[in-house]
Chain A
Amino acid sequence: MARKTPVLKVTNLKKAFGPVVIVDGFNLEVAAGEAVALTGRNGAGKSTVLRCLIGADKPDDGTVEVNGTRVSETNPEIRRDVATVIDDLDFFPDLSVVEHLDLLARAHGIPDADTAVDEVLHEVQLVPQSGQLPGTLSSGQRRRLALATAFIRPRKLLILDEPEQRLDTEGVEWLAERLAAERTRGLAIVMASHEPVLVERVATRVVRLGDRAEVLADE
């Protein structure tokens, strides 16, 4: 069977912070409908790989392509296709939960923004907090809002760094179900996770990383 065209293609990715090499020649291809879980001990380079994938960190060498286009943080076309949840998401201090989602939906040109916002709000269970300002949310609720920002926009690739962080048990269950549904709908997913529930129920491939993001196993 012919292999599908990869949504994400990473070739010989290298990244060092000063003299410390974090990622040394990482390669990965992810096709549509495939979910890859990056696992490995703390400091293996999972987050750095993910930050390079979305252009948040500039790789020292190597290439990252999404649907054949080289990833650059300055290319808005890439931003249309890639939804991310990593730790550096900031919020407008004076906009409520619902206003954040409304703004994002409209910025992405979603015609029926109200319905989309309503649906996602219900899904992430933040309806009671819809009028709250982000500064008053608990850390788990902030995480849910961050996840909601990924689910309200058009996307072909989801990149998530430990999305289970600060979620309660029910939340992890919900997230696993939701991500599995996203995968079934044909989205490509790359996530770094330590949560067995997510890895088992969502991932179609598990890539175990050693030091310097060396691929120890891809199964």
Chain B
Amino acid sequence: MSKKSRKLIRATPVADAAPEPDVVEETVAPPREFFFLPDVEPLDVDEKQLHQEMKVWRHGRATRTLGQILQDSYVMLFSLVVVGAMITSAVLRAQGEVAGCNTEACASGRLLLPSATVLACFALALGVSRLFGPVLASAAEGFWLMDAPISRKRLLRGRLVPPLALAFGVSGLATALVGALSGLSWPQVAAWSGAAAFGSAALVAFAASEQPRERAVVIKVLQALFGTAALAVLLVVVSVAAGWLPASVVSSAGGLTLVMAGIAAVALIALAALLVTTVARLDQIRRARLVSGGSLVSGMQGAMFALDFGLIRDILVERRMAEKGHVRPTRGRGLGLGALIWRDVERLRRSPSSFLGLGMSLLVPYAADALRMSQLNPLLSGLALVAGLVPFLGSLRVLTRTGGLARSFPFKTAQLRTAAMAVPAGLALLWGLAATPAFVGIASTGADRPFVDGLIVSLITALAGLFGAVRWVTAKKVDYQTPMMATASGALPPGLIVNLFRGIDMVALITAPLILGAPPYWSLAIAAVVYFGLRGSFSMDELKAEQEAAQRELAASKEAQATKKIPRPTR
């Protein structure tokens, strides 16, 4: 016993002798009849005050001061400032250089690329708005606040600001960047980025005004229109650069600048009008609709902290499928692994939208060749194909993310993975064949290879894209049990860093010999090794399990021999 404990015991007053117990009459508690029910009319609630109160509670529970946060993240802030300054300087220099280019291809690209970005921003703003709400509330707010008889309008008014600001900022910046890099003059950059920023914000406001009605048709149609237009403009850029279309199809810069300025002005007026309508309707948004967007954001935030982009995609796919709800069942074909492959073939028919991404990825090799980037073409096109093929690897993703489903099938890991890769491999082969002209050379300034060489490079690029996509969907979650890595931003699990590059690493590895000018068989050899690794032939867990089993067998046989009686020699 410690000294302190002894002291405490000594200090405790000795209890006096217990007094004689008084005879207390036992009272029986009357049966409880009262349950809390206010007998006065409730007062009106001031939502602003309620919100303020919640803020005060949270303020008292912060575990770190602002100073501490800044101290912890100074390296990141410093890096951001330095990298931002470098990017700005590079953009300014590039803008100056590109503005000096007066060829027809430069002139068309200068006007069309920023225009395509504006249209893509519009489509993206509508798509993201439809996905999240755009007005949303967290699950906790939905349960604790929305249940009370308070005005949702006052609570949600502030929620309109972040999506609008995000649409405005991201679209404006992205278009300004593309415009400057394309060589537009600064007033033109302002016109294009203004059109993108105000237009995107107005479209988000429009989506918010439609949210109470839960009517997505108009938004879907608009999104498809803007997306298709962006794609068409990009096609024109490639066609002009490749010489398939005359540069005269592009109108004069002055006219287009005025159009963009006009779009910005109209969008500003529309934004103001839509905001008034939307705020008036905020009370009518259903709680379930608000909370579903909030849950989606919180799920995606969690995945983002682990840089698990695969999980983010899983969340989105689950949500889309839950919205779809029902499909017309189709009968399978074949037995064994064939049944699994046939189901993937059926999936192609069920999700034709996935082909859009694959088709768009096919534009990249042609664009890269037309824009004089034939040296980097395998890498760029391979990366584009990764994005194009991921939607076709849903089966592999589900079979590798948890062991439960894979365990239901009577196949080895390598067999399962190979079967799940079969259909995407077929698509990659078709992609390789379709992209061959881009690697042979379509523009006078692009690649200049014999047909067979171009075909080989194209097929290697397709392999790189396929294996990059397989690596992306099969990568394991970040393991926080492993020893952490010391970094300037604190301790990080090694898997977190690797997560950023998964997929990209395979493409870079396989296409590196092509970019460096080495013979293509190097790429093929690397691809073969990568394939055996990805199909699970070199699974460390499995190899370790087999090794352990062999060691156990050996130990058991040794033990059995040791205990065996040695027969006595007979005379």
Contact = CB atoms under 8 A, between A and B. Distances in A.
B329 A94 contact: no
Contacts of B403: 56, 73, 88
Contacts of A111: 335
Interface residues of B, number: 46
A103 B332 contact: yes
B404 A88 contact: yes
Contacts of B410: 76-77, 79-80, 107-109
Contacts of A56: 403-404, 407
Interface centre among A106, A108, A132, A133 (most CB of B within 10 A): A106
Contact of B328 (A54, A92, A104, A131): A131
A96 B330 CA distance: 9
Interface in A154-207: none
Contact of B549 (A70, A92, A153): A70
Interface string A124-148: 0000001111111000000000000
A179 B554 CA distance: 39
A42 interface: no
A137 B327 CA distance: 13
A94 to B, nearest CB: 6
A134 B549 CA distance: 38
A2 interface: no
Given A79-B407, A84-B407, A86-B404, A103 B339 contact: yes
Interface string B366-409: 00000000000000000000000000001100100111110111
Contacts of B546: 72, 74
A114 interface: yes
Nearest to B330: A99
A195 B552 CA distance: 38
Contacts of A73: 403, 407, 545
Contact of B340 (A76, A87, A96, A103): A103
B321 A88 contact: no
Contact of B398 (A80, A91, A153): A91
A130 B398 CA distance: 20
Interface in B353-375: none
Contacts of A96: 326-327, 329
B398 A106 contact: no
B332 A99 contact: yes
B334 to A, nearest CB: 6
Interface stretch (B232-240, B242-250, B343-351, B483-491): B343-351
Interface in A40-87: 54-56, 58, 63, 70, 72-74, 76-77, 79-80, 84, 86-87
A215 interface: no
B321 A98 contact: no
Contacts of B549: 70, 72
Given A76-B412, A107-B337, A108-B410, A99 B343 contact: yes
Nearest to A81: B410
B329 A130 contact: yes
Interface residues of A, number: 47
A219 interface: no
A28 interface: no
B351 to A, nearest CB: 7
A77 B413 CA distance: 13
Given A72-B545, A86-B404, A109 B394 contact: no
B331 interface: yes
Contacts of A91: 398, 405
B552 A63 contact: yes
Interface in A12-48: none
Contact of A107 (B351, B398, B409, B412): B409
A219 to B, nearest CB: 31
A136 B325 contact: yes
Contacts of B545: 58, 72-74
Contacts of B324: 133
Interface string A84-123: 1011111111111011001110111111011000000000
A89 B318 contact: no
Contacts of A79: 407-411
Contacts of A92: 394-395, 398, 405
B410 to A, nearest CB: 5
A103 B410 CA distance: 12
Nearest to A78: B410
Given A113-B332, A131-B326, A132-B325, 14 more contacts: A63-B552, A74-B545, A76-B411, A88-B403, A89-B408, A92-B394, A93-B321, A102-B339, A104-B409, A106-B334, A106-B336, A108-B409, A135-B325, A153-B408
Interface of B: 317-318, 321-322, 324-340, 343, 347, 350-351, 394-395, 398, 401-405, 407-413, 415, 542, 545-546, 549, 552
6 contacts: A94-B347, A99-B327, A106-B338, A107-B337, A109-B336, A136-B325
Q: Can you list the 5 inter-chain pairs with the closest CB atoms, starting with the nearest? A: A106-B339, A135-B322, A88-B404, A89-B404, A93-B321
